[in-house]
Structure 1
Amino acid sequence: MKVLITGGASGLGAAFASTCAARGNTVHVIDIAPTAQGFAHDMGSADPAAWDALVQWLAANGPFDLVILSAGISATGRFEAIPLSDHHAVTSVNLTGPVRLVHMLDTGDHLNAGARLVFVASLSCFTGYPGAASYAASKDGLAGFARSLRGPMRKRGVKVQLACPGPMDTPHASRYAPEGSSAKGRLAPDRAAQAILNARRFTIIPGAGPKLAAFLGRLAPQIMTRLMGRVLFSKLK
């Protein structure tokens, strides 16, 4: 089985890559800093030449049986204090890039019959994320994109899934968490990767804690958003 993973050089993406490789899959990675098996590409790039080069690489290495869109960045702090360029970068990497890549895969026949597309969104799809507004917006957009593709893709034999992990013990989480935050309680990325890869349902929330948070987010969204504000926003400088 051929696997394609964006953001596969670090964090959850790297956990996907190692888990798939251990299962005997042929793993290909797209990352701004890829492994030896990967292709160097910024998912937020606005350079047409960079995307043209990616098209050629996809044609040479595809078609794929499993595509995991895991690349993502964030910007934390007071919304008005974060440069507009940072907000733009977040939406470019987390939403615009995946839309562009999926369009390339679909129109270029780079997906095998019976292929699986996994979109990695966030627990933010179930609750507000004060202090990470553009991140939450980009992940909500990605979730909406996945939901909208689900039916049409199914008719063409492609399965679409939406993964919404909570906080994980990754470099990404450490980079954007409030200063002095503990990794205790964060889900190990290899456990999240295994749970997502083994799941058959459309929406996947790895871990008991995130599942509870998602349930409470649906049940009492205002309370959960205030709680997230205390956990994240109030601790940011």
Structure 2
Amino acid sequence: MKVLVTGGASGLGAALVAACRARGDEVCAIDLDPAERSWAHDLGNTDPAAWAALADWLATQGPFDLVILSAGISATGRFETIPLAQHQNVTAVNLAGPIRLVHLLESGHLLRAGGRLICIASLSCFTGYPGAASYAASKDGLAGFARSLRRPMRKRGITVQLACPGPMDTPHATRYAPDGASTKGRLAPDRAAQAILNARSFTIIPGAGPKLAAVLGRLAPQTLTRLMGRVLFSKLK
């Protein structure tokens, strides 16, 4: 099986790459930090030449049986104090870039019939996320993108899935968490990766705790948003 993973150099992306390779898949990755069988590319880059070079590389590697859109960044703090350029970069990497990549793959016939496309969103899709508004908006947008592609791509034999992991023990989580935040309760990325790869449902929520949080988000969204505010926003400088 040929697999393409974005954000494959760290965190959940790296765990997905490792899990796929462990089962014998041929894996290619896109990340800022190039490694074996990977291409250095910033999904937030709008330079046509950079995207053309990526397209040429993908054409030599594909078509792919599984594409996982895992790359993502955040911006935490009071919304008005975060520079606008930083908010724009979050939406570019987390939403505009994945849309452009999928368009490139589809127009180039690089996603094989019978394959899977997995969009990695966030548990924030089930709640407000005070202190990380542009991140939540971009992940909600990616979720809407996945839902909108699901039926049309199914007609061509491609399965679209949406993964919404909660907090994980990754460098990304540490980078954007409040100073001194505990890693207790964060899901190990290798466990999340296995849950995502083994799932057959459209919506994938790895871990029992995040599943309960998603239910609470549906039944009592204001309560969960207040809880998220205490967990993150109130602790940010």
Aligned-partner SS, 2:59: helix
Q: Residue 154 of structure 1 contacts residue 160 of structure 1 at CA under 8 Å; is this kept in 2?
A: yes
Number of the residue aligned with 1:184: 184
Instruction: Give, as a single letter, the amino acid of the residue that structure 2 aligns with 1:155.
Output: K
Alignment of structure 1 residues 9-48 onto 2, 5 Å: 9-48=9-48
Tell me, in whole angstroms, the C-alpha distance in 2 between the residues paired with 1:105 and 1:93. 17
Number of the residue aligned with 2:167: 167
Q: Check if 1:195 corresponds to 2:195.
A: yes
| Aligned-pair CA distance for 1:38 | 0.2
Instruction: Give, as a single letter, the amino acid of the residue that structure 2 aligns with 1:41.
Output: H
Tell me, in whole angstroms, the C-alpha distance in 2 between the residues paired with 1:224 and 1:76. 18
Query: Structure 2: which 5+ residue stretches go unaligned?
Result: none
| Aligned-pair CA distance for 1:34 | 2.3
Instruction: Give, as a single letter, the amino acid of the residue that structure 2 aligns with 1:162.
Output: L
Tell me, in whole angstroms, the C-alpha distance in 1 between the residues paired with 2:134 and 2:6. 20
Aligned-partner SS, 2:118: strand
Q: Check if 1:78 corresponds to 2:91.
A: no
Q: Residue 8 of structure 1 contacts residue 34 of structure 1 at CA under 8 Å; is this kept in 2?
A: no
Q: Deviations over 1:122-166 (max 9, x none)?
A: 000001100000000000000000000000000011000000000
Number of the residue aligned with 2:129: 129
Number of the residue aligned with 2:206: 206
Tell me, in whole angstroms, the C-alpha distance in 1 between the residues paired with 2:65 and 2:36. 20
Number of the residue aligned with 2:150: 150
- The alignment's TM-score, normalised by the length of structure 2, stands at 0.99
Number of the residue aligned with 2:105: 105
| Aligned-pair CA distance for 1:89 | 0.3
Number of the residue aligned with 2:8: 8
Tell me, in whole angstroms, the C-alpha distance in 2 between the residues paired with 1:36 and 1:157. 30
| Aligned-pair CA distance for 1:112 | 1.0
Tell me, in whole angstroms, the C-alpha distance in 2 between the residues paired with 1:167 and 1:49. 35
Q: How many residues align?
A: 237
Tell me, in whole angstroms, the C-alpha distance in 2 between the residues paired with 1:164 and 1:233. 20
Q: Deviations over 1:163-210 (max 9, x none)?
A: 000000000000000000011100000000000000000000000000
Q: Deviations over 1:78-106 (max 9, x none)?
A: 00000000000000000000000000111
Tell me, in whole angstroms, the C-alpha distance in 2 between the residues paired with 1:228 and 1:162. 22
Aligned-partner SS, 2:86: helix
Query: Structure 1: which 5+ residue stretches go unaligned?
Result: none
Q: Deviations over 1:21-49 (max 9, x none)?
A: 00000000000112121000001101111
Number of the residue aligned with 2:141: 141
Tell me, in whole angstroms, the C-alpha distance in 1 between the residues paired with 2:33 and 2:114. 30
Instruction: Give, as a single letter, the amino acid of the residue that structure 1 aligns with 2:211.
Output: K
| Aligned-pair CA distance for 1:111 | 1.0
Tell me, in whole angstroms, the C-alpha distance in 2 between the residues paired with 1:221 and 1:207. 20
Q: List 4+ stretches of structure 1 deviating above 2 A.
A: none
Number of the residue aligned with 2:92: 92
- The alignment's TM-score, normalised by the length of structure 1, stands at 0.99
Tell me, in whole angstroms, the C-alpha distance in 2 between the residues paired with 1:2 and 1:13. 16
Q: Residue 94 of structure 1 contacts residue 142 of structure 1 at CA under 8 Å; is this kept in 2?
A: yes
